[in-house]
Amino acid sequence: MKKLKVIVGLGSCGIAAGAGKVYDKIEELKANGKYDIQLEKTSCIGMCFREPLVEIFDNDTSYLYGDIDPEKAIEILESHTQKHEVIKEYVVHTKEFETEDDTFWNNQVKIALRNCGNINPESLEEYEANKGYEAIKKIAKNKISQQEVIQTVTDSGLRGRGGGGFPTGIKWKFANGAKSDEKYIICNADEGDPGAFMDRSLLEGDPHAILEGMIIGAYAIGATGGVIYCRAEYPLAIVRLNIALEQARKKGYLGKNIFGIINFNLDIYVKEGAGAFVCGEETALIASVEGERGMPRKRPPFPATSGLWKKPTNINNVETFSNISWILLNGAEAYAKYGTEKSKGTKVFALTGKIQNGGLVEVPMGMTIRDIIFKLGGGIQNNKKFKAVQLGGPSGGCIPEHLIDTKVDYDSVNATGAIMGSGGMVVMDETTCMIDMARFFLDFTQKESCGKCTFCRVGTKRMLEILTRITEGEGEEGDIEKLEELSYQIKDGSLCGLGQTAPNPVLTTIKYFRNEYEDHIIHKKCTAGSCTKLLTYEVIPEACTGCTLCAINCPTDAIDGSKKEIHFIRQDACIQCGTCVTKCNFDAIKVY
């Protein structure tokens, strides 16, 4: 009988949920001789809403346990080691029987995430045991030319999994055609929207897949150097990337004449970024790598002809590179069979917001927003009504409920006014104020503006001021028109994608939720009940016990009433702070 294998998910999300304590406890018991088991670690498996996660392999049968603490871990180990019995109520996924979370897995197709949660990300041997580095070895063994590699990527239909969705093969072709003895390939791991959670998880969970994708790309374009530009806020990702790089160097997968390909000399290093959102833009990223302030440059010339150190450079993001080795190993047709006519393959999404099952999912392009949110995501929290989804990060747009059957592909999403971006999906329910949501995202992009373009620097500031006034009940007639005018001026007058897309949340909320803007401006009401300065607070007489907690804690002494008597809120003194609601133990405050 095989030794019991125990794997603990130790991605950043798992560690934050307490997986480190679970691992330490199991390791302590193993060291003390309590359990004769094989203990291993892995990364995020995508099921973040069930962290901490522990997977048990008992006689080659896998059981994934969720919401585990040290006490539950001991209970599970006792059951498996003593009786080889499963504790079904803790299991969140297995092939042996159905669980309530099966819908999270049923519609996924994992290509980019194929190894995440399945291997130890710090083990080169485990990556190779799962067909790692076989794609580049296939290229070397069969003497597949640079042009053939590029054609395979082109035929697969893979488009950049960052903001613009530019065809990867065509991008590589441009860099390949540039004449220079010195070229560079860069992995952009610095995107700062909610989808960057996906990039971080890929880097933490399968760093060698990113390296192999970069090596194949470097071969295809003739690159002599590589850079992974990763934000310093991803410490675990950086640690695991550097471990993978050192392992690759020792194995001879980086260096001179790698994989036996004559004159294919390549090394890759990690450049830690300062977390500037604008460095998701190619030329700003290049400036930062060169030691300058991360600010975009006018194009042309494009990076493919004059990039890092003014040499031909190709830049793709993390998810794009993670698909490359799979495509070269399995063929263009195998990848292109997923997706739609113009959006091939799969896409990873980071689900967050008012959704039941927050985490990472990978689905074929063309799945509807409805299916992603209600099948994989489990629907809206607390049985609230779905209102909108922000797709594409801070620079994306809000897609309303009546467009929930929109297919998730580049053309369909762009038609709504949103963008695919790197895959962030922020789900909103009926309690979300769309003006406040637009203000929230614009506040982020305004702060992240590098300031180079006047329209972006000043225009977003003026828009933020207008949105703030509206949410505080000081909106004026004509504010909607001012926001629209400024939006188009900023989009037309900005040099890079940050400024060109920053107004998207405002434009889409005006387009789909104009009535909310009018309610705020004309009627001074927030129908979502979110903007506190537009709410009215009243005591419900039949529910008030006269406990005085609301009066004692009111910062403006706006509540009158003696002990054990019904209280009353003076509206002329109320500042709509909501303190009375939070302090009342009897739900005796009505808000409308």
SS (H, E, C) 265-299: CECEEEEEECCCHHHHCHHHHHHHHCCCCCCCCCC
Average pLDDT, integer, range 124-140: 97
With left for phi above 0 and alpha for psi between -120 and 50, is residue 447 left, alpha or beta?
Answer: alpha
What gap in Å lies between CA 577 and CA 376, rounded to an integer? 37
Q: Is 40 helix (H, G, I), strand (E, B) or coil?
A: strand
Half-sphere exposure of 537 (CA within 13 A, CB side): 29
Task: Using the predicted structure, report yes or no on whether residue 1 has a pLDDT greater than 80.
Answer: no
What gap in Å lies between CA 247 and CA 133, rounded to an integer? 13
Which CATH code of 3.40.30.10, 3.30.1330.10, 3.30.710.10, 3.40.190.10 fits the domain covering 4-101? 3.40.30.10
- The answer to whether the bond into 364 is cis (omega within 30° of 0) is no
Task: Using the predicted structure, report yes or no on whether residue 133 has a pLDDT greater than 80.
Answer: yes
Query: What's residue 193's pLDDT?
Result: 53
Reported as a single tens digit per residue, the pLDDT across 2-35 is 789 999 999 999 999 999 999 999 999 999 999 8
User: Domain 124-335 in CATH: superfamily?
Assistant: NADH-ubiquinone oxidoreductase 51kDa subunit (3.40.50.11540)
The band of 263, judged by pLDDT with boundaries at 50, 70 and 90, is very high
> Do 293 and 450 touch, CB atoms closer than 8 A?
yes
What gap in Å lies between CA 412 and CA 406, rounded to an integer? 7
What gap in Å lies between CA 36 and CA 32, rounded to an integer? 10
Architecture in CATH of 346-429: Roll (3.10)
Average pLDDT, integer, range 553-582: 93
Reported as a single tens digit per residue, the pLDDT across 496-514 is 988 999 999 999 999 999 9
Cα 464 from chain centroid (whole Å): 24
Query: What's residue 233's pLDDT?
Result: 86
Average pLDDT, integer, range 71-98: 94
Taking all residues of the chain, what is their mean pLDDT, rounded to a whole number?
A: 94
What global pTM score does this model have? 0.92
Architecture in CATH of 434-523: Up-down Bundle (1.20)
Q: Does the domain formed by 536-591 have CATH 3.40.50.1100?
A: no
What gap in Å lies between CA 295 and CA 496, rounded to an integer? 9
Q: Is the dihedral of CA 539, 540, 543, 546 positive or negative?
A: positive
β-bridge partners, 272: 230
Give the ranges where 164-206 is alpha helix by DSSP (H): 168-177, 196-205
* Beta-carbon count within 10 A of 246 CB: 12
Please give the structure tokens belonging to residue 59.
Answer: 């006689």
The band of 194, judged by pLDDT with boundaries at 50, 70 and 90, is very low
Question: Hey, what's the torsion of the CAs at 436, 440, 442, 443, to 10 degrees?
Answer: 120
* Domain range summary for the chain, segments of one domain joined by +: 4-101, 124-335, 346-429, 434-523, 536-591
Average pLDDT, integer, range 102-107: 91
> Do 462 and 484 touch, CB atoms closer than 8 A?
no
DSSP letter at 255 equals: B
- The two beta strands, 397-400 and 386-391, are antiparallel
